[in-house]
């Protein structure tokens, strides 16, 4: 179904459609799932709301349709995700490797969700590659690798959670979506769309969300559980980040840095820096925002990039920061020091002068 709606840029029409998988693939997957299977579901390393929401949403659906299912994350995830239905059944590969490895080796099917290349699973890369389980990718990141037998890849989708909704619908089982599945899927759509405001949010996204609320997703409670669980120290860390905010107005860029010492000062915990990069983007006339976070243990600077409009941070991250993602949200890393990473970032900006100022 194609729809055309106007965005705030009057000469730009946004094509909106319900995503669908190749019908032959759907027929084969239906056949595959018609008998009980051993299934593993894996999201990317450092899973976010969409990664956990989509894996658990699919988990509940597959349990309900009588399969043996295990979600395995490469590593831990933030505590604001540790209430999602089914979350306590998740195994973490990095701390439970000996339990996880045989489950992955024995799997009939491995669903890989919310990532586009095996290396995005960190230490799980080899065991996933070597397992004979049939791989099914469901993902919305750009430039997917070709490792899966069945690929449902659509960069126009707001989130992998929205794709899981369409996937269950394509299997003819939308009626099986219950409050638990709806809650999981709502989480990822909400977090990946910045609460339904990013450019990837379509009328279809809102229709899916409306259906999820009707199926029992408690939208107010989900927002509170995800966004209103700040600690005092987390807000102090935000204050520190904002005092480190720099703006380069002529290049319409804002950037923030956080050193390991600053993280330690405010007792940093996983997830505490999530969303801070968006403050840079909220400044009037800013098109590109970055945050540089030192991780002394891994010996890297973790980089998050966000943009407005057509400026592609996916391209920038692929080219300069060993990463990738989407047009308006991407991540990457640098092995230089924090200071040198920022200097490098500033030095490449002039090559994007035209793109930044054309927005």
The residues of the shown chain that bind Mn ion, judged by CB under 5 A, are 50, 114, 160, 192
Residue 133 partner contact from ligand 5GP, Mn ion, none using kind-dependent CB cut-offs of 5 to 8 Å: none
- At closest approach, how far in Å is the CB of 330 from ligand 5GP? 5
- At closest approach, how far in Å is the CB of 25 from Mn ion? 21
Is the Cβ–Cβ distance between 129 and 42 less than 8 Å? no
- At closest approach, how far in Å is the CB of 189 from Mn ion? 9
Helix (H, G, I), strand (E, B), or coil: what is residue 253? strand
Residue 312 partner contact from Mn ion, ligand 5GP, none using kind-dependent CB cut-offs of 5 to 8 Å: none
- At closest approach, how far in Å is the CB of 42 from Mn ion? 14
- Minimum CB distance to Mn ion smaller for 103 or for 212: 212
184: Cα separation from own chain's centroid = 14
Residue 209 partner contact from ligand 5GP, Mn ion, none using kind-dependent CB cut-offs of 5 to 8 Å: none
Residue 4, strand partner residues: 15
- At closest approach, how far in Å is the CB of 23 from ligand 5GP? 28
Please name the helix (run of DSSP H) or strand (run of DSSP E) that holds residue 346, with its range, or none. helix 338-348
- At closest approach, how far in Å is the CB of 52 from Mn ion? 10
- Minimum CB distance to ligand 5GP smaller for 164 or for 330: 330
- Minimum CB distance to ligand 5GP smaller for 50 or for 180: 50
- Minimum CB distance to ligand 5GP smaller for 78 or for 86: 78
- Exposed e or buried b per residue across 155-192, where buried means at least 16 C-beta atoms within 10 angstroms of its C-beta: eebbbbbbbbbbbbbbbeeeeebeebbbbbbbbbbbbb
DSSP state of 339: H
- E strands, 60-181, where? 68-73, 91-92, 109-113, 134-139, 150-153
Is the Cβ–Cβ distance between 288 and 313 less than 8 Å? yes
- Minimum CB distance to ligand 5GP smaller for 70 or for 116: 116
- Minimum CB distance to ligand 5GP smaller for 4 or for 146: 146
Nearest-CA neighbor of 33 among 205, 176, 161? 176
- Minimum CB distance to Mn ion smaller for 163 or for 258: 163
Residue 330 partner contact from Mn ion, ligand 5GP, none using kind-dependent CB cut-offs of 5 to 8 Å: ligand 5GP
- Exposed e or buried b per residue across 58-93, where buried means at least 16 C-beta atoms within 10 angstroms of its C-beta: bbbbbbebebebbbbbbbbbbebbeebbbbeebbbb
- Give the Cα separation of 15 and 32 in Å (integer): 33
Minimal CB distance to Mn ion: which residue? 50
**Chain residues in the site for ligand 5GP (CB under 6 A):** 44, 116, 120, 141, 304, 323-326, 329-332
Phi-psi region of 252 (alpha: psi -120 to 50; beta: other; left: phi over 0): left
- At closest approach, how far in Å is the CB of 284 from Mn ion? 28
């Amino acid at each position: 179904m194609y729809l055309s709606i106007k965005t705030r840029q009057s000469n730009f029409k946004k094509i909106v459609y319900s995503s669908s998988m190749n019908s032959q693939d759907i027929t084969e997957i239906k056949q595959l799932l018609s008998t009980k299977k051993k299934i593993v579901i894996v999201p990317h390393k450092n899973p976010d709301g969409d990664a956990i929401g989509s894996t658990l949403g699919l988990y509940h659906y597959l349990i309900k349709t009588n399969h043996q299912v295990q979600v395995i994350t490469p590593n831990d995830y933030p505590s604001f995700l540790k209430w999602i239905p089914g979350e306590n059944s998740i195994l973490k590969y990095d701390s439970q490797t000996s339990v996880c490895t045989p489950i992955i080796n024995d799997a009939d099917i491995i669903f890989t969700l919310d990532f586009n290349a095996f290396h995005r699973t960190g230490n799980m890369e080899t065991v996933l590659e070597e397992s004979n389980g049939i791989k099914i990718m469901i993902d919305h990141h750009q430039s997917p690798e070709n490792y899966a037998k069945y690929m449902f890849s659509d960069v126009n989708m707001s989130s992998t959670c929205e794709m899981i909704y369409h996937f269950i619908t394509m299997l003819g089982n939308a009626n099986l979506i219950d409050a638990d599945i709806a809650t999981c899927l709502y989480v990822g759509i909400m977090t990946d769309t910045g609460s339904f405001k990013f450019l990837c949010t379509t009328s279809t996204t809102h229709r899916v969300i409306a259906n999820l609320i009707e199926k029992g997703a408690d939208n107010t409670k989900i927002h509170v559980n995800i966004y209103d669980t700040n600690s005092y120290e987390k807000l102090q860390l935000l204050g520190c980040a904002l005092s480190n905010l720099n703006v380069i107005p002529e290049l319409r860029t804002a950037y923030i840095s956080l050193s390991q010492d600053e993280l330690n000062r405010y007792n940093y915990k996983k997830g505490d820096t999530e969303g801070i990069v968006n403050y840079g983007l909220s400044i009037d006339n800013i098109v590109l925002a970055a945050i540089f976070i030192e991780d002394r243990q891994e010996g890297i600077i973790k980089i998050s990039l966000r943009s407005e409009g057509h400026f592609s941070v996916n391209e920038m991250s692929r080219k300069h920061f060993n990463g990738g993602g989407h047009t308006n949200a991407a991540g990457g890393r640098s092995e230089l020091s924090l200071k040198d990473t920022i200097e490098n970032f500033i030095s490449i900006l002039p090559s994007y002068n035209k793109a930044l100022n054309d927005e």
